[in-house]
Amino acid sequence: MNRRRKRTRRRRNPYEVPAIIVAFVLSMLILAIVNGKLNEVVEQAFFAKTETTPEQSPHNPAETTPEISQDEEAAQPDAAEDEFTLSMVPAYAGNAYVDIHDDVPFFLEEELVAESFQEYWPLDELGRCTGAYACIGPDSLPTEAREDISSVVPTGWHSVQYEGIDRDYLYNRCHLIGFQLTGQSANEKNLITGTRYMNVEGMLPFENSVRMYVEGTGNHVLYRVRPYYHGDDLVAAGVLMEAKSIEDPLVQFCAFCYNVQPGIEIDYATGDSAVKKTPDNEDILPIERSFESGEGTTTTRSIWKETASEETVEITYVLNTNTKKFHNPYCESVGDMKDKNKLETTLSREEIIRQGYAPCKRCNP
């Protein structure tokens, strides 16, 4: 029995010991690999928040902004679309006004409420008008004649005349919101120094269209006019006019009216003016008169006398020579007149009545 056992021991597998050694080495290698991976995962998890790269430097906030997907980017508000600046206005090119923002006003949806109100914003530190804002309804329209407004002297004002300009006066006291819409007369927060051209060719058509709409429908129009200045200029470069009807989509505009006068150079910092020296402006001349000086000699100068005559700029009437009635230019009856009976006039209301005309009962001029 003992001999047999000894023989059995001598027959053990010769590869047993090497296999154990190989298995041990392999297990050690596997543990090393697993341990290395684990350390890498731990390092990434622990140091990820403090790691910086050249593209994401804490000194370059613009580059650390997370990327926005196309869907998120489309949802981001565009500040340029919600705010107006003078940089949006092209240089004056012969038209009294230009559409801004695709003719869509900058109103917020929550502002579109059919409830009449008027706001006239405070003057700034230079005494300049800053804006007027209203919801215009039938109850906003004036029922009395406009009062004299010559007591208001807006910034940059000069009462100067040039031949070749309608009614000769370069400047008007321009209402931000026209009298025919809210009945405001001598409100210093609503009157700016504006050229005759801007007042009549630029602003008046918009004002009359809103008046006609409100009168004809009884609806409301949200309305805002803001003057814009370059730096500390006393005379505005122009006004932004916005309007949108509340109850229907019939009225909508967003336009910038240029405060210019063709043929005249304006110093917007002071309001001073002069004729542009071009061949086309030979018919535009300063109106001059003679004044007796203190020494008894005669001197010549441009008119700077303050008068109220240039302040009737919005009050132009249309006469019906057949019916002997006179109308506001936006009156619906004007469209029904025959051309042979229609006569436009710049006479005052009192003068027209003295000539035998009666006011229209529809528009009550």
CATH number, domain with residue 176: 3.40.570.10
Phi-psi region of 296 (alpha: psi -120 to 50; beta: other; left: phi over 0): left
- State whether 96 and 218 are in the same domain: yes
Contacts of 179 (CB under 8 A, 6+ apart): 142, 146, 185, 314
Asked if 227 and 80 count as a contact pair (C-beta separation under 8 A), the reply is no
- State whether 175 and 203 are in the same domain: yes
Contacts of 352 (CB under 8 A, 6+ apart): 317, 319, 326, 345
* Percent share of the chain, pLDDT over 90: 48
Q: How many domains does the chain have?
A: 2
Amino acid at 244: K
Q: Is 72 among the domain residues?
A: no
As a whole number of Å, the end-to-end CA separation of the chain is 143
- State whether 206 and 284 are in the same domain: yes
Least confident residue range of 163-167, 180-184, 303-307: 303-307
- Confidence tier at 62 by pLDDT (50, 70, 90): very low
- State whether 95 and 171 are in the same domain: yes
Q: Is 343 among the domain residues?
A: yes
Say what the pTM is: 0.61
- State whether 278 and 338 are in the same domain: no
- State whether 293 and 196 are in the same domain: yes
Higher pLDDT, 51 or 5: 5
Contacts of 365 (CB under 8 A, 6+ apart): 317, 326, 327, 328, 331, 349, 359
Determine the Cα–Cα distance for residues 301 and 68; give it in Å rounded to an integer. 66
- State whether 116 and 169 are in the same domain: yes
- State whether 305 and 328 are in the same domain: no
Domain holding 131, by residue range, is: 86-311
- State whether 304 and 241 are in the same domain: yes
**Which pLDDT score, from 0 to 100, does residue 188 have?**
97
Determine the Cα–Cα distance for residues 192 and 3; give it in Å rounded to an integer. 130
Say yes or no to pLDDT of 345 above 90: no
E strand or H helix that includes residue 157 = none
Find where tokens 């020296």 sit.
277
Least confident residue range of 24-28, 282-286, 340-344: 282-286
- State whether 189 and 256 are in the same domain: yes
**Which pLDDT score, from 0 to 100, does residue 347 have?**
74
SS3 190: helix
Q: Is 74 among the domain residues?
A: no
Higher pLDDT, 228 or 22: 228
Determine the Cα–Cα distance for residues 198 and 91; give it in Å rounded to an integer. 15
Q: Is 61 among the domain residues?
A: no
**Which pLDDT score, from 0 to 100, does residue 344 have?**
74
Q: Is 32 among the domain residues?
A: no
Determine the Cα–Cα distance for residues 32 and 27; give it in Å rounded to an integer. 9
User: For 276-320, what is each residue's pLDDT tens digit?
Assistant: 887 666 666 666 543 333 333 332 223 233 333 444 444 578 888
**Which pLDDT score, from 0 to 100, does residue 281 have?**
64
